[in-house]
Structure formats: structure tokens, C-alpha cells
Amino acid sequence: EADIYQTPRYLVIGTGKKITLECSQTMGHDKMYWYQQDPGMELHLIHYSYGVNSTEKGDLSSESTVSRIRTEHFPLTLESARPSHTSQYLCASSESQGTSRKYEQYFGPGTRLTVT
């Protein structure tokens, strides 16, 4: 089982609140990712990081922001939550270049966010 953790697992919060979704991995992976997934739909990449202090937005536009100050930690922040942010947020990581398993992604259990 992958050593990647997300907290909280479930969050119900009111409109306008600031939230931070936590993601940590203990595998020493350089690359980390945030995906958004609605029920029955594809995962959409919203942020990725290829190392400390290096982050970029993904293919799906998102109002969230991320930071990567430490290799193992990749939190996602929403400054002002809205009902349209209601979704499942999945964090993942992958090994560095030069390893045989560099293309595999290891996922956390996800955070189910509901904004009322």
C-alpha cells in the first residue's frame, strides 16, 4: 500500500471559508499531483509539482493554490470556498526520473469536499 496520506477525508464547509487540504507522502517522491474528480467522471489534473519550490497549474483551471516547501508535503488551499468547488480531491506522487517505476502514480485516499 502506498504511503501517501490526505486529511481530512471528508469536509463540509460553508461558502466563503478558507480551507487547506493536506497531502503528505513518506516515499521521498519528487513529483506530486492534485486531481479533481466528480462522480463517474475522469480525474482532472489541477496542480503538479516536480520538486521543492516548483509548482505549475494543470490542465483543468482551478481557483485553488498549492505550495511545495518540503518534499513530503503538498497542501492545496482554497481562499474562499464556493459550492462549485464541491468535488473529490485526490493527491498522488511518483518517483524520480531514472527509476524503473517513474511513470506509476501512487494515490492517497482522497478528500471529499462539500461546500454549502
Partner 1 sequence: SQKIEQNSEALNIQEGKTATLTCNYTNYSPAYLQWYRQDPGRGPVFLLLIRENEKEKRKERLKVTFDTTLKQSLFHITASQPADSATYLCALPPRGGGYNKLIFGAGTRLAVHP
Residues that bind partner 1 in the complex, under the rule CB under 8 A: 2, 31, 33, 35, 40-43, 45, 48, 50, 58-59, 90-92, 94, 102-110, 112
In the bound state with partner 1, the residue whose beta carbon lies nearer, of 17 and 30, is 30
Shortest spacing between CB 90 and partner 1, in angstroms? 5
In the bound state with partner 1, the residue whose beta carbon lies nearer, of 43 and 52, is 43
Which of 105, 116, 112 is CA-nearest to residue 25?
105
Go through 9-46 and write b for each residue having 16 or more CB atoms within 10 A of its CB, e for each that does not.
eebebeeeeebebebbbeeebbbbbbbbeeeeeebbbb
Letter for the amino acid at 40? Answer: G
Shortest spacing between CB 81 and partner 1, in angstroms? 21
